[in-house]
Amino acid sequence: MLALTECNTARSHIRAAMVENPVLDWTDVLPVDGTLKIDDNQAAKLAKTGRPKATDPLERRMATLDSLMACRSDIFQRLEHFFDPFASPLLFFRTPCFDLPHQQQMHSRAPPPLASKNSAAAESQAEATHVIERKRTYRRAHPPQGSSLALPSIRLTTGKDWVLKHQAQELANYMRSSNIRAKNSFPQLNDQAIEPETTVEEKEDLGLWDKQDVIRAGHWLGEMLRKR
């Protein structure tokens, strides 16, 4: 988020960023079937039981959609909070993967005759559930035309088993398109401007950084700073 917004060339700005396994769009954290059921009771339960245990090396490596949904319910108190581009930076470049649900979208059913305490609780749970279908997304222009923003060089690393690895490639594609648009808008600067580097590297397993990766990141960042 900072790399995409704190890049105003009129002042000191971020010129390069290297990121490992980023979560770039929380609205894209959906079950495999393409629908998201947001239930306060289930979210609270999942937050307690569904998150991988830090003490278990096997569980720590299992980045599942369920664990990400549990994290999301902990991080964001309201749905609209992760619809903010500053929480989901891909939303600078495109619309969300589903609409922000409103009260009228909530599903409700008439309680059955002689409803017991348990069935009433189930009924309340059903009323708190939103069933949301994935929608087609549309592009947004970032940086806005006429602004002093210039996207930095960025290198994204992901693991083959990282469940949101597609987001890194999506961000890279959008950033490359934005850089081409900016270059075409100001052809008089083509000879002077250094085109930002935008790459995605996929590693084995979850692709977590080791000591050598951190050293490589430092060398690359230094190289990018010297170029600019």
Whether this prediction's pTM lies above 0.75 is answered by no
pLDDT (tens digit, 9 = 90+) per residue, 179-208? 998 888 766 555 445 678 999 999 998 899
Each residue of 49-104: pLDDT tens digit?
Answer: 443 343 444 344 346 888 888 888 889 988 889 999 999 999 999 999 888 765 33
Do 113 and 44 share a structural domain?
A: yes
122 and 33 co-located in one domain: yes
DSSP H or E segment with residue 65: helix 65-75
Contact 149, 186 (CB under 8 A): no
Residue 1 falls inside a structural domain: yes
Q: Are residues 159 and 128 in the same domain?
A: no
Domain that holds residue 223: 1-22+140-228
For a pLDDT cut of 70, what percent of the chain falls above it?
A: 67
Residues counted in the chain: 228
Q: Are residues 8 and 38 in the same domain?
A: no
> 121 and 180, same structural domain?
no
pLDDT digits (tens, 9 = 90+) for 5-57: 999 988 899 999 999 999 999 988 875 444 444 444 444 444 444 433 434 44
Tell me the CB-side half-sphere exposure of residue 133, using CA atoms within 13 A.
Answer: 2
Looking at 133, 153, 188, which one is the last position of a domain?
A: 133
**Total domains, the chain:** 2
Spell out the residues 6+ positions from residue 163 whose beta carbon is closer than 8 angstroms to its own.
63, 64, 65, 68
Domain annotation covers residue 94? no
* Same domain, residue pair 206 and 177: yes
Q: What would the two tokens of residue 14 be?
A: 């971020």
